[in-house]
Amino acid sequence: MVGFFLYLEMQSEVDFLGCLSHPNLVKLLGYCLEDRELLLVYEFMPRGSLENHLFRSGSSATDTLSWDLRLKITIDAAKGLAFLHTSEKQVIYRDFKASNILLDGSYNAKISDFGLAKLGPSGGCSHVSTRIMGTQGYAAPEYIATGHLYVKSDVYGFGVVLLEMISGLRALDNNRPREKINLIDWAKPLLRKKKGLKLVMDARIEGQYSSKAATLAAKLTLHCLEPNPKKRPSMKEVVEVLEKINAMK
């Protein structure tokens, strides 16, 4: 059964990446057969995943991703999602997380792993009903509760990654104090207050951004994490706000 689902995920990768092309989506180059195992071949992304850079153990202020690089990567990833949501056949990515964002040699970000992607709603429907899959901590609450998948469900996942970017902390971490295990539960109340925001922001990038930029990033994060999907922004709107933050030098 596991092998069957892996085959379906590979088929999904081929179906989507075979007909979608965008600078912020990883390129599928082909496939090969190795020891009777079918493998997909992607373009080489030398800097690996965002997850490896953001949560590298023992990283200090000198070797962590700077504020400017975090913004660049976030904007790239947002543009990739915006493209999927506005393509002719609307695509819901469904598994947006730091490990699925890959970086090339110049830190250009590209979304990878389309194994769980779904075509968006059609025939006047607002959602797609599907089996609940994805990664704990990133999936939108309405999807977990009902199995109803909206385009705005991706926006929630983006909000989780945005929170990880500004805090330098994983969405879920059992090694943290009990009240901080779930990053969203701990951080959301703090993001609404200036003093609280200082507790959330990654200390390794202190002094690299203006308070106005941090406040706007916090507001955008909260907007993306709205419990009601209808209240979340579109990814196009997210890109516009991120570029506004990026202009605040």
Q: Is residue 233 part of a domain?
A: yes
pLDDT value at position 124?
52
Q: Is residue 188 part of a domain?
A: yes
pLDDT digits (tens, 9 = 90+) for 133-169: 778 899 999 999 988 899 999 999 999 999 999 999 9
Place of tokens 């330098």: 168
At residue 5 the predicted structure's pLDDT band, cuts being 50, 70 and 90, is very low
pLDDT value at position 48?
95
At residue 128 the predicted structure's pLDDT band, cuts being 50, 70 and 90, is confident
CATH number at residue 159: 1.10.510.10
Q: Is residue 1 part of a domain?
A: no
pLDDT digits (tens, 9 = 90+) for 163-193: 999 999 999 999 999 999 999 999 999 999 9
pLDDT digits (tens, 9 = 90+) for 43-83: 899 999 999 999 976 555 557 899 999 999 999 999 999 99
Rounded Cα gap, residues 101 and 50, in angstroms: 6
Domain total for the chain?
Answer: 1
Judged against a pLDDT cut of 50, whether residue 3 lies above it is answered with no
Instruction: State both tokens at 61.
Output: 């202020």
pTM for this entry: 0.89
Q: Residues 245, 213: contact at Cβ < 8 Å?
A: yes
Q: Is residue 10 part of a domain?
A: no
Q: Which residues pair with 63 in a beta bridge?
A: none
Rounded Cα gap, residues 137 and 233, in angstroms: 20
Q: Percentage of the chain surpassing pLDDT 90?
A: 66
What is the set of active-site residues?
A: 95
What residues make up the domain containing 221?
46-246
Q: Is residue 26 part of a domain?
A: no
